Amino acid sequence: EIVMTQSPATLSVSPGEGATLSCRASQSVSSNLAWYQQKPGQAPRLLIYGASTRATGIPARFSGSGSGTEFTLTISSLQSEDFAVYYCQQYNNWPRTFGQGTKLEIK
Amino acid sequence: QLQLQESGPGLVKPSETLSLTCTVSGGSVRSSGYYWGWIRQPPGKGLEWTGSIYYSGSTYYNPSLKSRVTISVDTSKNQFSLKLNSVTAADTAVYYCARQFVVAYFDYWGQGTLVTVSS
């Protein structure tokens, strides 16, 4: 099983600033990586797939990069609605696995 | 707009079987290239994929649950279902159903339903 490790566990950032979230795979997943956003009491929402392709309706301030074992989700100019928990998920190997999440909180 | 809705008991006794159904509206479970999956999230914890099914009946299961889980599809009702037997308190979680693009990422999710395992 591929283990996905996200860092940091919690990130405190002020609105208007940028944020960089990391996700590391225990072995290569090529570009088969997705990012999700989850707000309290809500289902996750797909943000990025293919490591860097934004899902339908996702603002351009969200961008993904990386391949192999190292991935990054960057959010430029944080809006109030961006404070949430973010998960990465690999779909290169079975079973599909998620990271443990990064909580993005208001500083 | 595609919508998914989970339904089923919110409380299950230990050692019994957890049964949930996901009803799909605004689209068809027979859509080519799309699998239909179940993901769970214990309270305050992360996400765990449990399994996925294609309308043909082809399934993939998480090995950690494989001996206890069954996913089925009813194309006539546009639904798919999850059964997890011999449950324990560790199976307490919010269970989400979701559409999965080519067994890859999940692009539409249900709102989730909390299932508590307790006597």
pLDDT band for position A102 (50/70/90)? very high
Residues of A in contact with B112 (CB under 8 A): 43
The answer to whether the CB of B23 falls within 8 A of the CB of B5 is yes
Residues of B in contact with A97 (CB under 8 A): 49
pLDDT of residue B66: 75
What is the distance between the alpha carbons of residues A62 and B81, in angstroms, rounded to a whole number?
Answer: 34
* Over residues A8-31, mean pLDDT: 97
Q: Is A94 on the interface with B (CB under 8 A)?
A: yes
Whether residue A71 has pLDDT greater than 90: yes
The answer to whether the CB of B2 falls within 8 A of the CB of B27 is yes
What is the residue type of B38?
A: W
Q: What's chain A's average pLDDT?
A: 97
The segments of chain B whose pLDDT lies below 50 read: none
What is the residue type of B85?
A: N
The answer to whether the CB of B37 falls within 8 A of the CB of B48 is no
The answer to whether the CB of A97 falls within 8 A of the CB of A2 is yes
Q: Is A32 on the interface with B (CB under 8 A)?
A: yes
Contact flag B109-A49 (C-beta cutoff 8 Å): no
* Over residues A18-32, mean pLDDT: 98
